[in-house]
């Protein structure tokens, strides 16, 4: 027994020494993707370019995605609250949470509106073999021999990586029925995509983008990793990340977040305030909805004025009112349970770096 224990201790020491003497993986990635995948991918790094990296926000220790019109989408098991987008904090508007059953999705609204366009939410799921771009908030990590990575307890940043869908959409059950939803899966492979990624605690609520015939779409929200070893560290090849398939919930999400046409300031009514905004931005280029561009052609002109006029004095249900169901925050106990199953940091591996 003593001998076995000694062998175990020596093996443990060997592992610790290996970790301690290996450079930070993030630093290694930095030499191949310029900055360790912490800014939007260029077309040199990713053939189809930036999928919408800046839309992915820090939500506390987890992740959320700014989908447009003041709304943020995250996993249900990630609470609502202030978010940080590209270093700027945006305040949460209390009482605006929307969820649907036990699907691991949570929408909430910000009271400060980022100057970003709305994302396109996929109307069809990515299929097996399709490449996806995952974006989440993770800690630094170092290689664990050649079999995976060891996550460190610091260096949390928004990063992007890639993977390929390994199992198409089916019903995913997280935590024995705590969350059930339609979702798809990717597998963390040693010989995977160029920036092979795997989720880890912190990535929950992150984005899964898919390029559909030239247009980037938000296809998924990162929800879970394999249940029995979710917090296992090191993270070995062969593990899976599960994401909610947004095409299944697209109509509900769009129905909830899309404002009344003409409501530039997103207060639920079309009136002289909106007309004044539109007039002030007449002929503006690179315009957003909040500037008066209601047909999303990035300019403000007579088309937008006609749209506004056609809804003059119309009003929508107030935010947080009948159309929004505020739900209580999960208890700490439930959060811990789900965290152990599903919160996750992205691990990136570049083939060039592993050789």
Contact status: 212 vs Ca ion (CB under 5 A): no
Q: Which residues contact 321 (CB under 8 A, 6 or more apart)?
A: none
What is the nearest approach in angstroms of Ca ion to the Cβ of residue 54?
A: 22
Do residues 254 and 280 touch, judged by C-beta distance below 8 A? no
Q: Which is nearer to Ca ion, 140 or 274 (CB)?
A: 274
Confirm or reject binding of residue 190 to Ca ion (CB under 5 A): no
Residues 279-298 within binding reach of Ca ion (CB under 5 A): 293, 295, 297
DSSP 139-166: --EEEETTTEEEE-S---EEEEEEEEEE
Compute the distance between CA of residue 151 and CA of residue 37 in angstroms, rounded to an integer.
Answer: 16
Residues 8-67 that bind Ca ion (CB under 5 A): none
For 38-84, what is the HEC assignment? Answer: CCCCCCCCCCCCCCCHHHEEEECCEEEEEEECCEEEECCCCCCCCEE
Cβ-based nearer residue to Ca ion, 249 or 289: 289
Residue 270 Cβ vs Ca ion, minimum distance, rounded to whole Å? 6
169 sits in which H/E element? strand 157-174
Answer for which of 182, 194, 226, 267 binds Ca ion (CB under 5 A) is 267
Closer residue to Ca ion, CB minimum distance, 84 or 314: 314
141-144 sheet: strands from edge to edge: 141-144, 148-151, 235-236
- Determine if 263 is a binding residue for Ca ion (CB under 5 A): yes
Using CB under 5 A as the binding rule, whether residue 194 contacts Ca ion is answered as: no
Q: Pick between residue 48 and residue 86 the one whose CB is nearest to Ca ion.
A: 48
Q: Could you say whether residue 192 binds Ca ion (CB under 5 A)?
A: yes
| Cβ distance to Ca ion smaller for residue 39 or 96 | 96
Q: Shortest Cβ distance from residue 100 to Ca ion (Å)?
A: 27
Residue 227-256 contact track with Ca ion, rule CB under 5 A, x = bound: ------------------------------
For Ca ion, how many residues bind (rule: CB under 5 A)? Answer: 12
Q: Please answer whether residues 122 and 213 qualify as being in contact, where contact means their C-beta atoms are separated by less than 8 angstroms.
A: no
**Identified binder of Ca ion from the candidate list 24, 38, 187, 258, rule CB under 5 A:** 187
Cβ(156)–Cβ(345) below 8 Å: yes
How are beta strands 71-74 and 83-85 bridged, if at all?
A: unpaired
Which of the ranges 52-60, 141-149, 159-167, 347-355 carries the binding residues for Ca ion, by CB under 5 A? 159-167
Q: Which residues contact 149 (CB under 8 A, 6 or more apart)?
A: 25, 141, 142, 143, 234, 235, 347, 349
- Helix H or strand E encompassing 222: strand 215-225
Fill in the per-residue mask, 302 to 341: x = in contact with Ca ion (CB under 5 A), - = not in contact.
--x-------------------------------------
Give whichever of 140 and 293 is closer to Ca ion, judged by the CB atom.
293
226 binds Ca ion (CB under 5 A): no
What's the rounded Cα separation, in Å, for the pair 37 and 89?
21
Is residue 274 close enough to count as binding Ca ion by CB under 5 A? yes
Binding footprint of Ca ion on the chain (CB under 5 A): 163, 187, 189, 192, 263, 265, 267, 274, 293, 295, 297, 304
């Amino acid at each position: 027994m003593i001998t076995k224990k000694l062998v175990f201790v020596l093996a443990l020491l060997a592992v610790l020494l290996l970790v301690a003497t290996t450079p930070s993986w993030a630093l290694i990635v930095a030499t191949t993707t310029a900055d360790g995948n912490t800014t939007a991918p260029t077309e040199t790094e990713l053939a189809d370019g930036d999928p919408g990296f800046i839309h992915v926000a820090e939500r506390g220790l987890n992740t959320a995605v700014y989908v447009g019109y003041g709304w943020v989408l995250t996993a249900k098991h990630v609470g609502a609250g202030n978010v940080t987008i590209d270093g700027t904090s945006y305040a949460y508007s209390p009482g605006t949470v929307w969820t649907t059953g036990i699907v691991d999705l949570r929408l909430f609204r910000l009271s400060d509106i980022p100057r970003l366009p709305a994302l396109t939410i996929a109307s069809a799921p990515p299929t097996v073999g399709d490449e996806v771009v995952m974006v989440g908030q993770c800690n630094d990590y170092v290689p664990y021999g050649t079999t995976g990575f060891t996550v460190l307890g610091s260096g949390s940043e928004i990063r992007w990586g890639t993977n390929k869908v390994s199992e198409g959409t089916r019903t995913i059950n997280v935590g024995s029925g705590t969350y059930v939803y339609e979702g798809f899966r990717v597998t963390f492979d040693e010989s995977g995509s160029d920036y092979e990624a795997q989720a880890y605690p912190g990535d929950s609520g992150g984005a899964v983008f898919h390029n559909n015939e030239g247009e980037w779409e938000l296809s998924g929200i990162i929800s879970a990793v394999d249940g029995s070893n979710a917090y296992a560290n090191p993270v070995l090849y062969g593990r899976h990340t599960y994401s909610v398939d947004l095409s299944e919930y697209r109509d509900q999400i769009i129905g909830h977040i899309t404002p009344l046409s003409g409501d530039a300031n997103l207060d639920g009514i079309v009136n002289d305030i909106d007309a004044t905004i539109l007039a002030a931005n007449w002929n503006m280029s690179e315009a957003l909805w909040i500037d008066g561009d209601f047909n999303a052609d990035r300019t403000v002109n007579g088309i937008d004025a006609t749209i506004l006029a056609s809804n003059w004095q119309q009003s929508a249900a107030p935010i947080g009112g009948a159309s929004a169901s505020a739900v209580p925050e999960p208890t700490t106990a439930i959060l811990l349970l789900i965290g152990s199953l599903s919160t996750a940091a992205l691990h990136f591996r570049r083939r060039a770096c592993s050789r």
